[in-house]
């Protein structure tokens, strides 16, 4: 009987798994429409009073995405004001939904990595993940790997989609 050889493990192929850089911590969304009159009208005095009365401690050590779920026209200062209340508690605050928050986290992390280890090597950006890795993180990873990798693929070693190959 012939020995089974793992050709992927013995190849020069490098796997870049974005899950390895996924920050631990709870993610939550904060919808500011709850503090608008009928969900649409921002009355400054009432808005400020709602923020003063709100229990911000529930966001301690959490990643928070701040958004408005209605089509209300919100002045820019309103989101900034909410941020001033969240800042003493939250790990990170981003404007938008959870995917925007996740993109923001990866935009902080990926530029700090050392990509020289991928110099001249074929790289596969791992595609299947158990964590909510946003599309934007894959785009940024490809940009960061591009100057170093000999080739870039996406997916799994058994079914990778070729994306780029140095000429």
- Predicted confidence at residue 167, as pLDDT, reads 87
Torsion sign over Cα 71, 73, 76, 79:
negative
Whether the Cβ atoms of residue 116 and residue 5 lie closer than 8 Å to each other = no
pLDDT band of residue 9 (cuts 50, 70, 90) is low
CA dihedral 71, 72, 74, 79 (to 10 degrees): -70
pLDDT band of residue 7 (cuts 50, 70, 90) is low
Q: Quick: pLDDT tens for 107-161.
A: 999 999 999 999 999 999 998 888 989 999 999 999 999 999 999 999 988 889 9
Q: Over 80: is that where the pLDDT of 1 sits?
A: no
């Amino acid at each position: 009987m012939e020995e089974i050889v793992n050709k992927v493990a013995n190849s020069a192929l490098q796997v870049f798994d974005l899950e390895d850089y996924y920050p631990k911590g709870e993610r939550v969304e904060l919808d500011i429409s709850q503090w608008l009159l009928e969900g649409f009208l921002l009355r400054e005095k009432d808005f400020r009073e709602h923020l003063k009365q709100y229990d911000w401690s529930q966001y301690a050590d959490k990643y928070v995405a701040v958004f408005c779920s209605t089509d209300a026209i919100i002045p820019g200062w309103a989101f900034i004001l909410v941020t001033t209340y969240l800042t003493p508690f939250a790990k990170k605050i981003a404007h938008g939904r959870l995917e925007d928050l996740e993109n923001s986290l990866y935009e902080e992390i990926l530029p700090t990595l050392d990509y020289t280890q991928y110099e001249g090597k074929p790289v596969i950006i791992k595609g299947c993940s158990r964590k909510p890795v946003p599309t934007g993180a894959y785009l940024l990873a490809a940009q960061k790997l591009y100057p170093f990798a000999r080739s870039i693929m996406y997916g799994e070693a058994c079914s990778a989609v070729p994306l780029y190959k140095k000429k």
